[in-house]
Amino acid sequence: MTDQRPPVRISPSILSADFARLGEEVRAIEEAGADWVHIDVMDGHFVPNLTIGPMVVKALRPHSTLPFDVHLMISPVDHFIDAFAEAGADIITIHPEAGPHSHRTVQHIKSLGKQAGISLNPATPAKMLDYLIDDIDLVLIMSVNPGFGGQSFISNQLRKIEAVRKMIEKSGRDIRLEVDGGIDTVTAPQAIAAGADVLVAGTATFRGGPTAYADNIRRLRGL
């Protein structure tokens, strides 16, 4: 089974980029071999930090041809879905705790022609996916509590990655399994071995500035 999986994708989180030069940073990670661009949207309410809105996503769109992997940590989430879709998001991921009707929110994302993801916080069980797995394109396992870059990987999330990998295989659907938080050259191979096929990495991608990005990304792939 492992051998049939596609190579791991790297989705650098621009939360760790230089916010004064975001366009250049996005171009630099694309040139350095990133697969997706991970955009962390925080509202200071669902999570204790404030970051990026749809206007910034729209401003970044012309700077990259890569899929924009938009991670919404906002509540209520529903009334911002259209704005992020119009701004150029390709994948829109929500937390089930961020609204009363996750199934409806997923349907709405799909109706806009976008890929829909569900993100599970460290304390949220894999079981939360039982009645969503038939409709989603991506599961995002949080391996830190959302809100900030640079936190340590919570190791018990490896069990959840394994459990979700089994659920995905059982579903027979084409669903990406992404892991977010504390990914570095030590935890990346652990997450991949547990079944992840997309790694978000903020600190580990942007460390050392633009000249280091290609090496940083290559190392996360285990190359």
> Should residue 141 be labelled a site residue for ligand DX5 when binding is judged by CB under 6 A?
no
Structure tokens at 218: 């290559």
Decide if 136 contacts 118 (C-beta within 8 A): yes
| By the rule CB under 6 A, 88 interacts with ligand DX5 | no
* Closest by CA position to 81, among listed 122, 48, 113, 49: 113
Regarding 180 and contact with ligand DX5 (CB under 6 A), the answer is yes
Shortest CB 171 distance to ligand DX5, Å: 25
Is 180 a residue of the active site? Answer: yes
- Span of 19-27, 28-36, 103-111, 140-148 interacting with ligand DX5 by CB under 6 A: 140-148
- Residue 107 CB partners (closer than 8 Å, separation 6+): 135
- List 25, 40, 43, 197, residue binding ligand DX5 (CB under 6 A): 40
C-alpha 52/C-alpha 39 separation (Å) is 8
Beta-carbon contacts of 24 under 8 Å, excluding residues fewer than 6 positions away, are 18, 63, 210
71 in contact with ligand DX5 (CB under 6 A): yes
Q: Is the peptide bond before 62 cis (omega within 30 degrees of 0)?
A: no
Are 136 and 109 within 8 A, CB to CB? Answer: no
What secondary structure letter does DSSP report for 33? T
> Contact region for Zn ion (CB under 5 A) — 24-32, 38-46, 59-67, 208-216?
38-46
- From first CA to last CA, the distance across the chain in angstroms is 21
Query: Which residue, 180 or 197, has its beta carbon nearer to Zn ion?
Result: 180
Catalytic-role residue among 35, 40, 69, 197: 40
Closest CB 1 distance from Zn ion, rounded Å: 27
Preceding omega of 146 cis (within 30 degrees of 0): no
Rank residues 148 and 215 by Cβ distance to Zn ion and give the closer one.
148
15: contact with ligand DX5 by CB under 6 A: yes
Q: Which residues are known catalytic residues?
A: 40, 180
Q: State the residues that interact with ligand DX5 by CB under 6 A.
A: 13, 15-16, 38, 40, 71, 144, 146-147, 149-151, 180-183, 200-204
Q: Which residues bind Zn ion (CB under 5 A)?
A: 40, 71, 180
